[in-house]
Amino acid sequence: MPVLDLKRKLSILADAAKYDASCASSGTSKRDSRGGKGVGSTEGMGICHAYAPDGRCISLLKILLTNYCIYDCAYCVNRVSSNVKRARFSVDEVVNLTLDFYKRNYIEGLFLSSGIIRDADYTMEAMVRVARDLRQVHDFRGYIHLKLIPEASQDLADEAGRWADRLSINVELPRDESLKALAPEKDAGVIKRAMGGVRLGIDAAGEKGRRAKPTAFAPAGQSTQMIVGADAASDGEILARSESLYGAYRLRRVYYSAFSPIPDAPGRLPPMRPPLMREHRLYQADWLMRFYGFAREEIVGPAENLELGMDPKLAWALKHRGDFPVDVNVAERETLLRTPGLGVKSVDKMIALRRLKRLALHDVGKLCRRIESVRPFIVASDWSPGGLTDSAGLARSLTPAPQQLELF
């Protein structure tokens, strides 16, 4: 087999890693390189060092250690039966590439994942070694995100938590049954148990009242990813799944990744990709559940899908027009958060401002993004929507006009 040069390996193993949506580098403990030997700092807020033309941020060096894999997951470009080019980094190559990129201010740190070679422990051990070398040999204080292999031993998972800022384990598919069909070697139970183990580690590190300071364990928490549109699960099912994951494992984030066609696809998969908008709507609904006080049942029923043509909050408001308009000068924070077009920041600013003066429509206009979409749902000191809230054409006026398909 010809020996691949480093650049070729990088292109293969970055290409193989791009189907992981997460690139976050935020929310970890604060630290910097002063008083140390190496480089690196994390100051709470993540930094996106570049953006690719797919609109995704590039914050971390996101690569696989290897894309050789003994598993045969239909949705994955690296499955054993796929004909893609294969490559494998050595531990030192990953360590040096991370440091070289970091010193040039290209990245915030490393996101390392891997295909499974030989067995889960063998692979996980190599990934942990990368993180350990970065931290111990090079005193690297930047961000590290490690993907855990669910089948790997608890000891390795625990050590990974010592070096990494974030750990993640992908649940992959919203339905356990489809995981069985599309990823025969994976086991939903094993995945859940591994996530449970991570939560126990994080809980133990955060325990109060201990005399000795507990060793840090994944200070940026754990996250997971679900592929949307590779099986028949409805949006309602997907969100119910997320809700139960957030509750059981205290996840920081559930990432939704619209299934995207992969090179060398097997026949078990849907031939078409789902609209990217579906992924976007799922994120919006996820946010409504976590930050806006909506219960899942209010947003979408178990077998229903979210509307693609409008955001879930607007869809909810149009179904509950009786609750509107709300008076921005007196309404509770919870009520304002449920008003279409008003975000958490706008609402908090309005509440601060209305202690000093009565809000007029132009005040609201300056504090929100588009007053046109808010206007029908609010009352201000100089504004009342009259019949607008209940007008039949409201939905149409607030959503983009449908486009006629191009004729050949």
Partner 1 sequence: MPVVRLDSEVDFAGWRTAARSLRAQGVTPDDTLWTVDGEGDLFAPPLEAAAATGPAFTAPREFLALAQAVVLHRSDDRFALLYRLLWRLAQTPHLLQLTTDPDVARARDFAKAVERAAHKMKAFVRFRKVDEAPGEMETFAAWFEPAHRVTERTAPFFARRYANMRFSILTPDACAHWDGDALSFTPGADPADAPADDALEEFWRTYYASIFNPARLKVGAMTKEMPKRYWRNLPEASLIPQLIEAAESRSQAMVSAGPSEPNRRIVRAALRASRDAPYDGAAPTDLVELNAQVQACRRCSLWRDATQGVSGEGPRSARLMFVGEQPGDQEDLAGRPFVGPAGQVFDRALAEARVERAETFVTNAVRHFKHELRGKRRLHKTPDAGEVQACRWWLDNERRMVRPRVIVALGATAALAVLGRPTPIGKNRGQALQLSDQGQAVVTYHPSYLLRLPDEDAKAKAYAEFVEDLRFAQRLAA
- Nearest distance in Å: CB 97, partner 1: 7
366 binds partner 1 (CB under 8 A): yes
Residue whose CB is less far from partner 1, 156 or 364:
364
**Nearest in space to 227 (alpha carbons), one of 211, 238, 219:** 238
- Nearest distance in Å: CB 391, partner 1: 28
Phi-psi region of 34 (alpha: psi -120 to 50; beta: other; left: phi over 0): beta
> Which class for 351: exposed (0-12), middle (13-18), buried (19 or more C-beta within 10 A)?
middle
Residue whose CB is less far from partner 1, 72 or 321:
72
195 binds partner 1 (CB under 8 A): yes
**Nearest in space to 143 (alpha carbons), one of 113, 167, 169, 165:** 165
- Nearest distance in Å: CB 273, partner 1: 7
User: Applying CB under 8 A, which of residues 199, 274, 309, 321 lies at the interface with partner 1?
Assistant: 199
Considering only residues 223 to 262 of the shown chain, the ones binding partner 1 according to CB under 8 A are 243-244, 246-248, 250, 258, 260-262
**Whole-number Å distance between alpha carbons of 117 and 270:** 28
Build a one-symbol-per-residue string for 32-51: x at contacts with partner 1 by CB under 8 A, - elsewhere.
xxxxxxxxxx-x-x-xxxxx
Cis peptide before 325 (omega within 30 of 0): yes
Residue 43 CA to chain centroid, in angstroms? 20
Residue whose CB is less far from partner 1, 264 or 390:
264
362 binds partner 1 (CB under 8 A): yes
Considering only residues 173 to 192 of the shown chain, the ones binding partner 1 according to CB under 8 A are 176, 187, 189, 192
User: Applying CB under 8 A, which of residues 3, 52, 405, 407 lies at the interface with partner 1?
Assistant: 52
58 binds partner 1 (CB under 8 A): yes
Q: In this structure, are residues 383 and 358 in contact, taking their beta carbons and an 8 Å threshold? A: no
Identify the three-state secondary structure at position 244.
helix
Considering only residues 93 to 112 of the shown chain, the ones binding partner 1 according to CB under 8 A are 97, 100-101, 103-106
Residues in the chain: 408
Identify the three-state secondary structure at position 387.
helix
Considering only residues 341 to 360 of the shown chain, the ones binding partner 1 according to CB under 8 A are 349, 352-353, 355-357
Residue whose CB is less far from partner 1, 195 or 306:
195
- Nearest distance in Å: CB 11, partner 1: 5
Considering only residues 285 to 304 of the shown chain, the ones binding partner 1 according to CB under 8 A are none
**Which amino acid type is present at position 74?**
A
Q: In this structure, are residues 334 and 300 in contact, taking their beta carbons and an 8 Å threshold? A: no
Residue whose CB is less far from partner 1, 92 or 390:
92
Q: In this structure, are residues 332 and 301 in contact, taking their beta carbons and an 8 Å threshold? A: no
- Nearest distance in Å: CB 281, partner 1: 15
308 binds partner 1 (CB under 8 A): no
Distance between the two ends of the chain, CA-based, in angstroms? 49
Contacting residues for 187 by C-beta, under 8 A, at least 6 apart: 150, 179
User: Total residues at the site for partner 1 (CB under 8 A)?
Assistant: 88
> Please, what is the Cα angle at 42 between 39 and 45, to 5 degrees?
145
158 binds partner 1 (CB under 8 A): no
User: Applying CB under 8 A, which of residues 1, 2, 44, 53 lies at the interface with partner 1?
Assistant: 53
